[in-house]
Structure 1
Amino acid sequence: MQEAAASAHAEISSDRCTSLSESGNLSTAPPTHASKPLAQGVNMASNLEHVPQDTSRKNRKYFTQVQPSFFVQQPVVQLEFLDNSDPTKGRVVRKKAREWVALNKKKASTSGGRKREAPKRKDHAVQRTDSVVATRQGQSLSPTGRRVVTPLGPLRDISGQKFDPFDVLPNVGRKIDHIVEYFLTSCPEEVPCCDDRYAWRSLQPFKQPSPHNSVLRAMATERVSFILWLFATTLIRDGMTGNWWSQECVHFYTIGLQEMQKASTRSVTQYTDSFFCALACFTACSNFAGQWKPAELHRDAMVRALELKGDGSAMKGLMSCNSFTRKATVWCEFHVAAQQSAAPKLPYCPPPAADPLPEPIAASSRRLTSTTLSLVPNAPEPLPYIILQLHQLSLSAIPPAANGVHQLDHRLSRTLYDTEWTLLQVLDAQRSTPALFSPVQICLTEACQLYMWTAVRCLPPILRLCDLLITRLKASICTLLAQSRNSTPGSADDGAAEAGAQPGAYAYLITWSLFVGAAIASCGPRPEYGWFKEEFWVQMGMHEEGVGDREWLRGILGYFPITDALFGLGVASLGFP
């Protein structure tokens, strides 16, 4: 009887465990009393010794479904993949970055212990410390003791005082990070002597850019100016590789044209500096891309807008703008004036004069100017002044940076503007009354104009504006060569008899002009390159002392303005030994 009862009790216990395991409540239901489960477990263990092992699937199911009363669970990492074709990919990345930063700050604030209270200080010490901190942060204290914060520009990073276009640039509907990076690292200066190249931290870490002398800051204020700046930057980038009017460039051109049409309908009181910068940008882009008629139309619209702003006076309209807008509009109009060989329509409003040049550079410039004028007799004013300024700009030229971008010293900004303004006045006079100028003077002026735009201003030689300047220089050299080679030693040609010089005295001027033309014409498929190269070697054979090495050639060209960058380009293009 006892054995039968024990066997029945074991079967009942086994069935009860199986039913509990199937229902899933065994692993999670806590025991009500501590002593009963322990006693039951002992009795079950003693009774199961007499029960044969059951290897059925039903009993093993308990071990596969049972879970411990507690366990450590790792968070599941959820991967999110970006769609590279999504134009808002950059916005998604920035949004996720902000979320992680906010989450980490929240964790740091909640996990930290009790903060240690700072020791109490006296009132005058606290007030003095607040004043120092406010001064360092660009703030000031009002008479009432409240802190007045000076607003920073939208493109300034508070920590590093660098340009930071993070989430503040106008939305244009597509990714523009590569355009901004190209502009800050590899793009030629769109306006002379600006501080945009110092905004890239890896290039000039110790140079603080000025927010009032930045192309990016001025053009990113409004949507219309920013889109036209994107068009200009992409046009320069693609034009330097010969890929004019790429798909990206045409896209920004189309949107920029629509935005400009909308902006032109605003009232005169709403003509802002960004609006004038947008007109100037459109003018310059059309000009160096070879669209001469649209460039003239945009220039006329810019002049008309400034006249409306100044109640009929363009000078008043210019003076109502900030210093950067005046500098940018005047220089962009120089593009159209150089294309037309005419005087500018805007009144001359140059940047303020900077510190004078060092005395060694000024003395060398005067000495070289005297040498140049001795080889070009009877040079009327203002040609001697132009030659002097070109020598100053050449001697002060900064070698190209590691990224290949040419730079110009900020102290020469006023000199650069004065030189181009004077050259345009001389070219306008020569175009209107050519009979009053000799072929020597015309050739010298055209050579100085091409040299100023390419060697000093560092305009990429592949741009369309250089095509016109090269063609005009070739025409002036042809006239001078024909007159020089057909003249006799005793003829009164171009005033040579009055100066007691022979036509061969202009050989150095012709050599310098041919060298400059050949160096610039070699950049791109220009038909004038072959002519310049052939005539240069013919002119080399006419020198009495014979042809020497590169140092000899540098001495010959040193009588006129020359830079190391242009000399290296010309020697390579001419195949000089």
Structure 2
Amino acid sequence: MSERPNPFSLTDTSHSVPRKDRGASLSSSVDRRYFEQVQPIFAVSSSATKLEFVDNSDPRKDLVVRKKAREWVHRNRETTRRNKGAQNAKTQEAGAVTAWDIILSRRASLKDPSSGRIDPFDMLPNVGRKVDHILEFFLTQCPEEVPGSDDALAWRSKAVALAPSRSNTVLGNMADERVSFVLWLHATTTIRDGMAGSLGTEECMYYYKLALQVMREETEKRKVKEFSDAFIAALGCFAACANFAGDFKAALVHRDALLKVLMAKGNGDLLKGIQSTKPWTQKGMAWCEIHVAAQIPATPIIPFNPPAPPKDKIPYSITIETERRTSFTLAQLPPLSLAFPGLISQFHLLCLLQASDKTPPKPPLSGPSLLTNQTIRTSPHAIRPLYCAEYTILQLLSQQKERHDHGFTNTEVVLTEAFQCFLWPALRCLPCEMKLCDLFVTRLKTALITLLDELDLPVDSDIDQAGQSPYLATSSSTPSVLSESSGTSDSDLGTLPILKIYHPTDSLVIWALFIGTLVSSVGGRPEHDWYKDRLLRHILVRNARFIRSKDHLITLLKVFPWTDTFCGTGIKKMHIPF
């Protein structure tokens, strides 16, 4: 490179060159490639663009695109404000509105998508209407559609890091496909309107028609390989919902369709078809089929498959108390068949587990009946005995129905029907407004009439010399073991004295009439007057000298399965003129 001339040099003669020639000499002496090689001290370069291609074969591609767009908007939204020096700040005139004030006002009007809404990004399938109010009812007041689900914990958890997985939730599984989500909306609106006594509202009928349309379309176009868990859950949901609303023929049709789909999925083997589904699907369709089996009644067609027990065992104090209460109950009854002692023990265990559960119940819905719909989440320890108890009851009812000479006594028939009438509203925590309870109340009444006609006992007049009731022998009572070990007082679970009764079946008849009175009081059922009249007759006439107050009656009733949310609430509202 040629040496650059120094303008201050004394020996430089370039200044004597004319202006025109001097410019030419400078341009020739400077290498212009220097400016092409120099690098700036900073550079502005755009980040590499990452392309994400949409899978056109994905039926939910619209939801994916919508979710990605919302994520991009929230990620690139301005979150910081440019700092301005105090020396450059200008004094604003009164009432002046700057551009930053407008931005702040707009930002304040934006709602945090993670607060308030259950589905902030609209990821649930589109059904043509808003479903936020249905989701709100489902998480606050709806009874458990599948026992042991974690919807209220997973979808409304305050600590997101500690929230359980949504794989064990009804909403998480029923929202996988549009067909299952529509059926779930139909079932939830039916339960909501049924609890309010207003079946057939416009919204309920809209989802009912939409469910029929979607189910028909999906059934026609799906092949065996396309029978997904969501489609199977939709069939089971339709059967249980129809059973709840009283459409028993439709429930049988959809139950049979569910079994055919499982047979096709297992290449003719029902058990293989069941095992090919997810654990939650197996649990859900088993309870949906039990719904229909309780209506017939018959043994469920889906094979007996009790859920696995939880890792932690049942507290020892509850186990001992269950045995104690079972012995009291068996002492008040005549000899029973082999299946009944275990069944009685399971019912007492379920009642104690419900009483010891510290989970706060959902708010009750007040009504004109003796009961209020108070929903309680099923304890994990109670799921297995609840399933086993219902399966045993259905086996007993099926045997009693199929053969006239079934070998069961009338006392055992009444006990079985009373257990069935008690399990669904008291232990399963379903509302008594469901039409399935109409069948339970009628069958229990028929069994009681047969037993009462067989007994045909006169009014009791025996009394001991001390003038005390033989029902209450508190001196020989045994205390509960729950007061010290589990922190539950006897006043909560009841102190059980050894009862002395003249007729072995009188206590069972009173308990069965009491359960029938509570269930029949909901929905204006015609059997309610019969139950109430018979109950008052047994308390105030037949056993007038033995049951002298409501406390005596409660002591007698607590020998049999008892829950405070069902029996305790009902007896408080029941007027008995002692």
Name which of 424, 427, 436 aligns with 1:453: 424
Q: What's the C-alpha RMSD, in Å, of the aligned pairs? A: 3.1
**Mapping 1:29-178, distance limit 5 Å:** 102=73, 105-108=76-79, 111=82, 164=119, 166-178=121-133
**What is aligned with 1:414?**
384
Q: Is the Cα contact below 8 Å between 1:369 and 1:391 reproduced in 2? A: yes
> 2:518 touches 2:570 (CA, 8 Å); kept in 1?
yes
Equivalent of 1:350 in 306, 313, 321: 306
Q: CA deviation at 1:201?
A: 3.2
8 A Cα contact 1:224 1:263, kept in partner = yes
Aligned residue number for residue 317 of structure 1: 273
**Residue in structure 1 matched with residue 240 of structure 2 by the alignment:** 284
**2:325 aligned to which of 368, 379, 382:** 368
Structure 2 residue aligned with 1:525: 524
How far does the alpha carbon of each residue in 1:171-198 deviate from its partner, in whole angstroms, 9 at most, with x for none? 0011111001111111110011100121
In the aligned structure 1, how far is the partner of 2:323 from the partner of 2:336? 16
Does residue 1:191 correspond to 2:149, yes or no?
no
How many Å apart are 1:454 and its aligned residue?
1.0
Partner of 1:556: 556
Matched, 1:209 2:126: no
Is 1:431 the equivalent of 2:401?
A: yes
| SS in structure 1 at match of 2:376 | coil
Letter paired with 2:235: L
2:255 corresponds, among 288, 291, 299, to 299
Q: 1:382 to 1:170 in 2, by over 3 A?
A: same
CA distance in 1, matches of 2:332, 2:74: 75
Is the CA contact 2:154–2:165 (under 8 Å) kept in the aligned structure 1?
no
2:337 aligned with 1:383, yes or no? no
Deviation digits for residues 376-408 of structure 1 (CA, Å, limit 9, x no counterpart): 222102111111100000011147625232222
Instruction: For residue 212 of structure 1, report the CA deviation from its aligned partner.
Output: 1.6
Preserved contact between residue 487 and residue 503 of structure 1 (Cα < 8 Å): no
Give the fraction of aligned pairs with identical amino acids, expressed as a percent. 41
Point out the structure with the larger helix share.
Answer: 1
Classify 1:529/1:369 alpha carbon distance in 2 versus 1 (closer, same or farther; 3 Å).
Answer: same
Given residue 531 of structure 1, which amino acid in structure 2 is its aligned partner? Answer: W
TM-score, normalised to structure 1's length? 0.69
Q: Find out whether 1:274 has 2:244 as its counterpart.
A: no
Equivalent of residue 336 in structure 1, options 279, 289, 292: 292
Rate the CA distance shift 1:371–1:100 in 2: closer, same or farther, 3 A: closer
**CA-CA distance at 1:549 after TM superposition:** 3.1
Please tell me whether residue 392 in structure 1 is matched to residue 349 in structure 2: yes
The runs of at least 4 aligned residues of structure 1 exceeding 3 Å deviation read: 98-113, 157-160, 162-166, 199-207, 486-489
- Quick one: which of 335, 346, 361 aligns to 1:401? 361
Letter in 2 for 1:539: H
Change (3 A) 1:402 1:300: closer
Structure 2 counterpart of 1:470, which letter? V
The amino acid that maps onto 2:206 is: H
The separation in 1 between residues aligned to 2:130 and 2:334, in whole angstroms, is 58
Equivalent residue, structure 2, for 1:35 = none
**In the aligned structure 2, how far is the partner of 1:544 from the partner of 1:530?**
20
* Aligned residue among 135, 139, 151 for 1:180: 135
Corresponding letter in the other structure for 1:525: G
CA distance in structure 2 between the partners assigned to 1:216 and 1:99 by the alignment: 23
Structure 2 counterparts to residues 481-492 of structure 1, below 5 A: 481-485=452-456
| CA deviations over 1:338-373 (Å, ceiling 9, x no partner) | 000111111122321223311111111111111111
On the 8 A contact 2:190/2:204 being kept in 1, the answer is: yes
1:111, distance to aligned residue in structure 2 (A): 3.9
Q: Secondary structure at the match of 1:453?
A: helix
- 1:165 and 1:334, CA in 2 relative to 1: closer, same or farther beyond 3 A? farther
Q: Which moves more between the two structures, 281-290 or 344-353?
A: 344-353
Counterpart AA for 1:358:
P
**Residue 208 of structure 1, CA deviation:** 1.9
Task: Check the 8 A contact 2:289/2:300 in 1, yes or no.
Answer: yes
Kept after mapping to 2: 8 A contact 1:296/1:336: yes
Q: 2: distance between equivalents of 1:517 and 1:535? A: 10
Q: d(CA) in 1 for partners of 2:533 and 2:503? A: 19
Q: Which amino acid aligns with 2:316?
A: E
Aligned 8 A contact 1:184 1:199 in 2 = no
Tell me which amino acid in the other structure corresponds to 2:353: S
SS of 1:504's equivalent? coil
- List per-residue Cα deviations over 1:222-257 (Å, max 9, x = no partner): 000000000000000001111112111111111111
User: Does structure 2 retain, via aligned residues, the 8 Å contact 1:519–1:573?
Assistant: no
Higher mean displacement: 460-469 or 191-200: 191-200
SS in 1 for 2:503: helix
Which residue in 2 is equivalent to 1:6? none
* Native 8 Å contact 1:333 1:344 kept in 2: yes
Q: Does 1:218 align with 2:201?
A: no
- The alpha-carbon distance between structure 1 residues 110 and 558, as it changes in their structure 2 partners (threshold 3 A), is closer
DSSP 3-state at the match of 1:264: helix
Q: 1:100 and 1:279, CA in 2 relative to 1: closer, same or farther beyond 3 A? A: closer
Q: Distance in 1 between matches of 2:284 and 2:305?
A: 10
Any unmatched runs of 5+ in structure 1? 1-90, 114-156, 490-500
In structure 2, what is the Cα distance between the partners aligned to 1:184 and 1:484? 48
**Native 8 Å contact 2:148 2:378 kept in 1:** yes
User: For residues 461 and 106 of structure 1, do their structure 2 counterparts lie closer, same or farther at Cα, with a shift above 3 Å needed?
Assistant: closer
- More moved, 208-217 vs 463-472: 208-217
Q: CA deviation at 1:575?
A: 1.1
**Equivalent residue letter for 1:414:** R
Return the alpha-carbon distance in structure 1 between the equivalents of residues 125 and 166 of structure 2.
Answer: 18
* In 2: Cα distance, 1:525 partner to 1:314 partner: 41
Distance in 1 between residues matched to 2:126 and 2:314, nearest whole Å: 43
Q: Residue 249 of structure 1 corresponds to which residue in structure 2?
A: 204
1:462 and 2:418 are equivalent in the alignment: no
- Kept in 2: contact 1:443–1:473 (CA 8 A): yes
Q: Is the Cα contact below 8 Å between 1:518 and 1:574 reproduced in 2?
A: no
Aligned AA for 1:183?
Answer: F
Structure 2 residue aligned with 1:57: none
Question: Quick one: which amino acid aligns to residue 140 of structure 2?
Answer: T
- C-alpha change, 1:440 and 1:205, in structure 2 (3 Å) is farther
1:301 and 1:352 mapped to 2: Cα distance?
27
Matched positions, count: 430
Aligned: 1:472 with 2:443: yes
